[in-house]
């Protein structure tokens, strides 16, 4: 199995790292509404806490449109303007930057040292959902068919058209239909799908299975309107 290379002296291009670890934090109920006002408040909170770098630019992308770089201070407002669309905003920071806060720090030390690639996703439309870890097939609960999936990519996830139907005519049933992952694991679609998510890319998996930073965890819980789940995607290529 390939081994992720941990950096002692951070390399300023995470693309040189090879395989990385990615954590996805998402609401624990796909049916729970997550208004754009809460998404924008979360991104602003990460800037205010020093998790993100307020002095650098971020990249904003809307599905089907060109991406744009902008000052970090303007990005919460840009998220608010993404009504009716799927949008993401992303920034790469480094744990050795002055006053940078690492939500996975252990006893005040970054875990691991190096880069953090933060990407916040918001899907503000009823006809689509984000699947952070792309499934390769849908198993229809109505007819039991296994149907290969080739869904449009958005960031490091894919978008599911909830209005699409199986060959048998059945609409998606998130609580009964299943998604098969590339490694063969099978989950209910409601366990894989979300309307909002924060992904955090690191050089390797941190020691903690959940965010040890209580203030950042509370910020996420407030923005997502309740409990959260974490999905781990290990040994994956770094984000573009």
Instruction: Give the list of residues 6+ apart from residue 182 with CB closer than 8 angstroms, or none.
Output: 134, 136
Residues 219 and 177 in one domain: no
Rounded CA-CA distance 231/236 in Å is: 13
The CATH number of the domain holding residue 112 is: 3.60.90
In this prediction, residue 239 carries a pLDDT of 86
95 assigned to some structural domain: yes
Which pLDDT belongs to residue 50?
A: 97
Q: What is the pLDDT of residue 17?
A: 59
CB-CB neighbours of 111 under 10 Å: 18
Q: Has residue 114 been placed in a domain? A: yes
| Residue span of the structural domain in which 106 resides | 20-123+195-237
In a domain, 30, yes or no: yes
Both 115 and 78 in a single domain? yes
Q: Is residue 4 part of a domain?
A: no
* pLDDT single digits (tens) 175-220: 999 999 999 999 999 999 999 999 999 999 999 988 999 999 999 9
Q: Low-confidence residues of the chain, pLDDT below 50?
A: 1-12, 14-15
Q: Is residue 65 one of the residues assigned to a domain?
A: yes
**Is 11 within a domain?**
no
Q: How many domains does the chain have?
A: 2
63 and 102, same domain (yes or no):
yes
């Amino acid at each position: 199995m390939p081994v992720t290379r941990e950096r002692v002296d951070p390399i300023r291009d995470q693309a040189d790292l090879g395989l990385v670890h990615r954590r996805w934090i998402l609401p624990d109920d796909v049916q729970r509404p997550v208004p754009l006002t809460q998404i924008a408040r979360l991104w602003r909170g990460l800037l205010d806490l020093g998790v993100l770098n307020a002095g650098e630019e971020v990249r904003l992308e809307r599905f089907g449109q060109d991406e744009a770089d902008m000052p970090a201070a303007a990005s919460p407002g840009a998220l608010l303007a993404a009504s009716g669309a799927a949008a993401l905003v992303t920034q790469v920071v480094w744990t050795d930057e002055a006053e940078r806060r690492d939500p996975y720090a252990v006893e005040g030390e970054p875990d691991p040292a190096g880069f953090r690639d933060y990407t916040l996703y918001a899907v503000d439309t009823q006809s689509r959902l984000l699947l952070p870890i792309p499934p390769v097939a849908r198993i229809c609960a109505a007819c039991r068919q296994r149907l290969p999936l080739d869904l449009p990519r958005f960031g490091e996830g894919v978008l599911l058209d909830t209005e699409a139907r199986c060959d048998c005519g059945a609409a998606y049933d998130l609580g009964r239909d299943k998604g098969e992952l590339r490694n063969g694991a099978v989950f209910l679609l409601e366990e894989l799908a979300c309307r909002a998510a924060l992904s955090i890319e690191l050089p390797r998996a941190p020691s903690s299975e959940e965010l040890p930073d209580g203030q950042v965890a509370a910020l996420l819980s407030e923005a997502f309107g309740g409990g959260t789940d974490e999905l781990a995607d290990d040994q994956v290529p770094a984000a573009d």
